[in-house]
Amino acid sequence: MSYYTLILVVFMNMFQSPNLIFKFEPGSSTDGWQIVDDRVMGGRSQGDFTINSEGFGVFQGLVTTENNGGFSSLRYNFDGIKTKNFDFIVLKLIGDGKSYQFRLKASNYQRHSYIYSFKTTGLEQEIVIPLKDFYPSFRGRVFEMPNFDADQIEQIAFLIGNKTKELFSLKIKSISLK
């Protein structure tokens, strides 16, 4: 391959549809990421989010059902990313053997989220989720409407709420569309 052909290939790849939603690296910032716990409704769960020395975003804490609580979530709002040419969300992470939800919103102004539940193994995982498998829900109630079929995403979130008191730790490497 000639030098000019290589430059052309690199240039063309720069302008293809982006598929990376977020990738954590050593020195990454937590700016824009927000913890929302059951404390907003009187609960006592508490999550935290940091970047570790290996470059993972670490969502960890304690979920408790005390005072009618029971969840902790990590959210990220951003300018819309188009989903038209993609069929899957790909999560690269290391979990703690517990179950989590990954959530999408087509618009930051939507009340409901589109949800997919997954179980972690305690090992490094690549979880591939069909966009069409995200179902609409709000505060635990499933809506009678189609699964995710929007042409963009403006919010992503991880949530743990297994109806039990438990410590949790989810190490996130990247979130992308495929």
20-177 under CATH 3.20.20.140, yes or no? no
pTM here is 0.88
CA distance 92 to 129: 11
Domain boundaries, the chain: 20-177
Longest dimension (CA), the chain: 67
Q: How far apart are CA 94 and CA 14, in angstroms?
A: 29
- The pLDDT tens digits of the residues spanning 2-41 come to 444 434 333 433 444 459 999 999 999 999 999 999 998 8
Asked if 146 and 153 touch (Cβ cutoff 8 Å), the reply is: no
DSSP string, 97-127: S-EEEEEEESSTT-SSEEEEEEE--SSEEEE
Give the per-residue pLDDT at 58: 98
